[in-house]
Chains A and B, each alone.
Chain A
Amino acid sequence: MQDTDEVSELTALMKAIDRSNAIIEFTATGEIIKANDLFLQSLGYRLDEIQGKHHRIFVDPAHAATPEYGAFWEGLRQGQFFASEFLRLGKGGREVWLQATYNPVLDADGQVQKVIKLATDITARKQAATLDAGFIDAIEKSMAVIEFQTDGTILTANDLFLERMGYSLEELQGKHHRLFVSAEYAASADYRQFWFDLAQGKFYRGRFERFAKNGDSVWLEATYSPILDDHGRPVKVVKFAYDITANVAQSEALEIALAEAREAERIRNELDRAVQEMSTPVTPIWEGILLLPLVGVLDSMRTSDIMNKSLTMISEMRAKVFVLDISGVATVDTAVANQLIKITKATRLMGCEAIVSGLSPAIARTIVELGVNVGEIRTTATLRDAFETALHLVGEVIGGRKEPAVLAPRA
């Protein structure tokens, strides 16, 4: 009765193993006897395709030809047990990673009767691990990486980090992160808070100024990533960093250059404004009378400025008369004459009388010779004459007030 129970228990156990493991049986020399469904499924074969064939169909032919492979089966024949991760080839040459044990089964004489292989397909895990390893390798090659305990004690650092900061790994291991920061910052509450936060699992990212062994300032674009255990507790902190010292230096240089350019532009604008003010000094010289003495060259741009300022002043001061003195204008040609006509015409539209003074006999002759139609522009030879006329127009005489002359804007 007890034997029956044991047999039942063993049968149940075998069934459980069969359900959860890929199992294949070989002769002591490696020929396949049988395999369960999981094994066949993992390797992509049907049983009749592999039965009677040698184990070497699952390995790379080059590997099958090596002394190691021969020694492997010799060891099994000797009753040696093997357990490891094995790369095997499925149907069509597909790579399959198996976590497997090769178990020699001995007969009553102690001779190896057969070999049972119990395996688990770990291909997906291996591929993920390979991918992760690739990522880590790529990060290691391109970024400076350093690992700390959660209190800031240095665990390890990669070559890029060591090279940039000028330390050997031995010089850093066991030291604290404060080695890389200024004494002021290391003693600050901010710095204590920084490591307190990291120890609590807080992630930091940003630009950090650190100091190399030789004292040089090094700017790092970095992340401080707390690594959590299975219970979500921070166990260490990994810092990934790019050296951006050159960029920061460039940015600073650019900012300085921009600030200088802005200052230069401000000064230039001030100068322009001052020059403009000086070039169009529209001045109230009497109640209702504005004077603009023009000096130098009169071009279309300057005319536009003069017009702008003059019209605004006429409006603001409610001027009745606008005296434009051209004694200082170098030459009067057709263009200049036309510009003057333009100004006086605009002045008239504001309801203000314009007088152009300072016309020398030579200029008057030139205007006539050029055939410029000055229309009904009121002109005088001297500024004095213009002023007298202007006073008359606004109803003033020197030394007393008289009735204003009737302004008769031309229709």
Chain B
Amino acid sequence: MLAGSLMNPSHDTAVAMTRTRRVLVVTMQPDLDQERFDRLRLAAMAEVGHERLAAVVLDFSAVDVLSLAEFERARDLLVALRLLGLQVAMVSLAPSVVLYLTEVQADTEGVRYFRGLDEALRRFGQD
């Protein structure tokens, strides 16, 4: 059970973010095109700037299909946040998505991966 608050700083329905203590959880939408992702990135960056956060987690549990470009956008965001001193992770990647990313030899370095959100939160001391 997450003890946090649902935020939507820009009142943007494409961006679903939840803060649980010091962990910002971003729920990735299945149809996140470049424009929507830019809005998500801005919202996440704004949140990081305002709050004292320890980690940012991208939750892919609602995503069945992910293109290489979409994955790279998400990874770039996390790597950038990592440079700001945050711990970053992706959780709940579907087997089909993982298979695809492996086949296309996507660069997956620089990010941690967890089976589920609960494990990530536990890992980041938020249980």
Binding site for B on A (CB under 8 A): 307-308, 311-312, 314-315, 318-320, 342, 345-346, 348-352, 406-407, 409-411
Contact = CB atoms under 8 A, between A and B. Distances in A.
Contact of A311 (B89, B99, B112): B99
A350 B95 contact: yes
A155 to B, nearest CB: 73
B116 A351 contact: yes
Contacts of B99: 307-308, 311, 346
27 contacts: A307-B102, A311-B95, A312-B95, A314-B95, A318-B115, A319-B115, A345-B102, A346-B98, A346-B101, A349-B90, A349-B98, A349-B101, A349-B102, A350-B93, A350-B98, A351-B114, A351-B116, A351-B119, A352-B115, A406-B123, A409-B89, A409-B113, A409-B114, A410-B112, A411-B109, A411-B110, A411-B111
Nearest to A350: B98
Given A315-B94, A349-B98, 9 more contacts: A308-B99, A314-B95, A318-B116, A319-B115, A349-B90, A349-B108, A351-B119, A411-B109, A411-B111
A342 B102 contact: yes
Contacts of A410: 112
A351 B108 contact: no
A307 B100 CA distance: 11
Given A307-B102, A314-B95, A345-B102, A351 B115 contact: yes
Contact of A348 (B95, B110, B113, B116): B113
Contacts, number: 59
A315 B95 contact: yes
B15 interface: no
A59 B79 CA distance: 109
A409 B108 contact: no
A409 B112 contact: yes
A410 B123 CA distance: 13
B91 interface: yes
Nearest to B95: A311
Given A350-B95, A407-B123, A345 B115 contact: no
B95 A351 contact: no
A107 B82 CA distance: 137
Nearest to B82: A411
B125 to A, nearest CB: 10
Nearest to B90: A349
A319 B119 CA distance: 12
B91 A351 contact: yes
B79 to A, nearest CB: 10
Contacts of B82: 411
B112 A349 contact: no
A319 B113 CA distance: 13
A307 B98 CA distance: 10
B62 to A, nearest CB: 15
Contacts of B115: 314-315, 318-320, 350-352
Interface string B81-95: 010000001110111
Interface string B32-51: 00000000000000000000
10 tightest A-B CB contacts, nearest first: A311-B95, A351-B115, A351-B114, A346-B102, A349-B98, A409-B112, A351-B113, A315-B95, A349-B113, A346-B98
A407 B116 CA distance: 13
Given A307-B102, A311-B98, A351-B119, A345 B108 contact: yes
B14 to A, nearest CB: 25
Contacts of A319: 115
B22 to A, nearest CB: 18
A372 to B, nearest CB: 16
Interface centre among B82, B111, B112 (most CB of A within 10 A): B112
Contacts of B119: 351, 407
A409 B109 CA distance: 11
A236 B82 CA distance: 96
Nearest to B115: A351
B124 to A, nearest CB: 11
B73 to A, nearest CB: 16
Nearest to A410: B112
Contacts of A352: 115
Contacts of B93: 349-351
Nearest to B94: A315
Contacts of A314: 95, 115
A308 B119 CA distance: 23
B91 to A, nearest CB: 7
Nearest to B96: A311
